[in-house]
């Protein structure tokens, strides 16, 4: 389970996350929805120990990420598909990660097959499209077979078949009893993937509910959002 407790994160005078609290429980996909700059990525970075909170806590199974001895076995994450050494092959990139967490070579081959990259495993990442890098990032997140998974805008760069694939993957992972947090600014995709939804705006919690409850009486998730906030928000398109 993921727990965000009164989390605040400031960068100088800028408040990126403002006294934010919510929980993400196992067994379903929880969408983390908000416009660009709403504080979604910052919250996930604090969860993964990449940024320190100004105040409050971000916990995974009741612990800070930094306390896990072999974190890939507990938490898998994709925050930036481009954060890969371009000179390495897909296989070697995953193998390096595997070695740091005591994961065997066979698992590397398994996840490459799972994400559809087995045929390009020996090719250098610098030649990959954004969609292929997204798949590689997902493979890295799955490497340790973790119970908690975080994905930040994972459909960026994917073709329609890839988007459908990741939608099905997220649902399958949740059905296996894992905790899945899926961040996006795309309402249409969130409506098709998530069961629960946490909506944030300007670093603050706007709603924490099921998609069905939020959209009841509305034609779409976007219409429900506008009714909830009382203002139009430009969510844009996938990068």
73 and 140 assigned to the same domain: yes
Largest CA distance in the chain: 52
Phi, psi of 25 (to 5 degrees): -100, 160
With 0-12 / 13-18 / 19 or more C-beta atoms within 10 angstroms meaning exposed / middle / buried, residue 61 is middle
Report the pLDDT value the prediction gives residue 231, as an integer from 0 to 100.
52
- Distance of CA 35 to CAs 38, 53, 98, 201, 232, Å? 6, 21, 34, 7, 11
Report the pLDDT value the prediction gives residue 71, as an integer from 0 to 100.
96
Report the pLDDT value the prediction gives residue 207, as an integer from 0 to 100.
92
94 and 70 assigned to the same domain: yes
| 237 within some domain | no
Q: Where are the beta strands (DSSP E) in 48-192?
A: 55-60, 75-78, 148-152, 179-184
Q: How far apart are CA 201 and CA 40, in angstroms?
A: 9
Report the pLDDT value the prediction gives residue 234, as an integer from 0 to 100.
45
Q: How far apart are CA 221 and CA 225, in angstroms?
A: 6
Report the pLDDT value the prediction gives residue 229, as an integer from 0 to 100.
67
How confident is the prediction along the chain (239 residues), in pLDDT tens digits per residue?
A: 999 999 999 999 999 999 999 999 999 999 999 888 889 999 999 999 999 999 999 999 999 999 999 999 999 999 998 888 889 999 999 999 999 999 999 999 999 999 999 999 999 999 999 999 999 999 999 999 999 999 998 988 788 898 999 999 999 999 999 999 999 877 788 888 999 999 998 999 999 999 989 888 887 887 887 777 665 444 443 33
22: closest CA among 49, 43, 36, 38? 43
The last residue of a domain, from among 146, 173, 199: 146
| 239 within some domain | no
129 and 179 assigned to the same domain: no
171 and 198 assigned to the same domain: yes
227 and 169 assigned to the same domain: yes
Q: How far apart are CA 175 and CA 188, in angstroms?
A: 21
192 and 210 assigned to the same domain: yes
The last residue of a domain, from among 85, 113, 146: 146
| 85 within some domain | yes
pTM of the model: 0.90
215: closest CA among 224, 207, 203? 224
Number of domain units in the chain: 2
CATH number of the CATH domain containing 98: 3.40.50.300
93 and 135 assigned to the same domain: yes
| 153 within some domain | no
| 155 within some domain | no
Report the pLDDT value the prediction gives residue 37, as an integer from 0 to 100.
86
Pinpoint the alpha helices (H) of 68-159.
Answer: 90-100, 105-114, 130-142
Domain region containing 221: 1-60+161-232
118 and 180 assigned to the same domain: no
| 53 within some domain | yes
Residues 6+ apart with CB under 8 A from 158: 131, 134, 165, 166
81 and 108 assigned to the same domain: yes
Q: What interhelical angle do 130-142 and 105-114 show, nearest 10?
A: 130
| 4 within some domain | yes
The last residue of a domain, from among 95, 122, 146: 146
Report the pLDDT value the prediction gives residue 3, as an integer from 0 to 100.
98
Torsion over CA of 145, 147, 148 and 149, rounded to 10 degrees? 40
| 24 within some domain | yes
């Amino acid at each position: 389970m993921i727990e965000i407790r009164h989390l605040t994160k400031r960068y100088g005078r800028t408040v990126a996350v403002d006294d934010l609290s919510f929980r993400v429980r196992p067994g379903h996909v929880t969408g983390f929805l908000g416009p660009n700059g709403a504080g979604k990525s910052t919250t996930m970075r604090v969860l993964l120990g990449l940024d320190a909170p100004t105040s409050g806590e971000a916990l995974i199974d009741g612990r800070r990420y930094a306390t896990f001895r072999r974190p890939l076995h507990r938490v898998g994450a994709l925050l930036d598909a481009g954060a890969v050494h371009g000179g390495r092959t897909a296989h070697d990139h995953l193998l390096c990660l595997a070695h740091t967490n005591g994961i065997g070579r066979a698992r590397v081959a398994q996840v490459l097959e799972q994400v559809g990259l087995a045929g390009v495993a020996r090719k250098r990442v610098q030649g990959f499209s954004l969609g292929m890098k997204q798949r590689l990032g997902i493979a890295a997140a799955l490497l340790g077979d973790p119970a908690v998974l975080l994905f930040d805008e994972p459909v960026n760069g994917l073709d329609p078949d890839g988007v459908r694939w990741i939608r099905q993957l997220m649902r399958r992972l949740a059905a296996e009893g894992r905790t899945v947090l899926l961040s996006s600014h795309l309402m249409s995709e969130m409506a098709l993937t998530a069961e629960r939804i946490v909506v944030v705006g300007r670093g603050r919690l706007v709603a924490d509910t099921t998609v069905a409850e939020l959209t009841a009486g509305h034609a779409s998730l976007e219409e429900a959002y506008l009714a909830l906030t009382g203002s139009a928000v430009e969510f844009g398109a996938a990068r």
